[in-house]
Chain A
Amino acid sequence: QQQVKQSPQSLIVQKGGISIINCAYENTAFDYFPWYQQFPGKGPALLIAIRPDVSEKKEGRFTISFNKSAKQFSLHIMDSQPGDSATYFCAATPVGNQFYFGTGTSLTVIP
């Protein structure tokens, strides 16, 4: 059973556009929601993370929006660049327990 559902599976965006990736979860015990970026041949790298006590967190061009009542969170990449082309994973973890990852979104930013 997939604890964290991620969509879309793939995404193509024009340079300068906004990329939006969505995740949903059911387990209300989850209280930490990181996003990871993975380039081919590399391990995932932490991009940005949020806790459910805030509805939005912004770091540079990357923003997480969090909707606790809907049990959904999303990653927005503003002014998308070709260098952002990578696979993005959302994840969730409850206190003192393991990470559960989404299935990933392959983002391609077209110049």
Chain B
Amino acid sequence: ETGVTQSPTHLIKTRGQQVTLRCSSQSGHNTVSWYQQALGQGPQFIFQYYREEENGRGNFPPRFSGLQFPNYSSELNVNALELDDSALYLCASSLGMGYQETQYFGPGTRLLVL
């Protein structure tokens, strides 16, 4: 059984650019949640996808968008990057859409916006 994987591991972009981050969920999991973790802070919920539909969103602007594919892998897209978007982006998969289902986190993608 493979765990949650994310790509790329690190990324450097400049302000105004767009970025796509990818996540492969753990085998059998149909739900993916994305989090932003700023340095020295706890993860902040961005949104969750259940069976290709968005199932809840945190306090993030529309330039943060996502997709979930039929194989339950997922993408996080961020448009018009800002310096404050520099953070570790975590993906977590779970079996079922309930927020109290155990979430298994990937190692994250470290994004630096210059």
Residues of A within 8 A of B (CB): 4, 6, 32, 36, 41-46, 89, 91, 93, 95-104
CB pair A97 B106 closer than 8 Å: no
Residues of B within 8 A of A (CB): 4, 33, 40-45, 48, 56, 58, 90, 92, 98-100, 102-108
Min C-beta distance of A68 to chain B, whole Å? 17
Asked if A98 meets B107 with Cβ closer than 8 Å, knowing A43-B90, A103-B41, A103-B42, the reply is no
CB pair A89 B43 closer than 8 Å: yes
Contacts between the two chains (Cβ within 8 Å), count: 53
Bound complex: CA of A4 vs CA of B92, how far in Å?
A: 20
CB pair B43 A44 closer than 8 Å: yes
Instruction: Name the CB-closest residue of A to B45.
Output: A98
Instruction: Name the CB-closest residue of B to A36.
Output: B105
9 A-B residue pairs with Cβ-Cβ distance under 8 Å, sorted by A, are A6-B42, A36-B105, A43-B90, A91-B42, A93-B100, A99-B33, A101-B44, A102-B42, A104-B41
Asked if A89 meets B42 with Cβ closer than 8 Å, knowing A44-B105, A96-B98, the reply is yes
CB pair B99 A104 closer than 8 Å: no
Bound complex: CA of A97 vs CA of B48, how far in Å?
A: 10
Asked if A104 meets B40 with Cβ closer than 8 Å, knowing A43-B4, A43-B92, A99-B45, the reply is yes
Bound complex: CA of A102 vs CA of B44, how far in Å?
A: 10
CB pair B40 A103 closer than 8 Å: yes
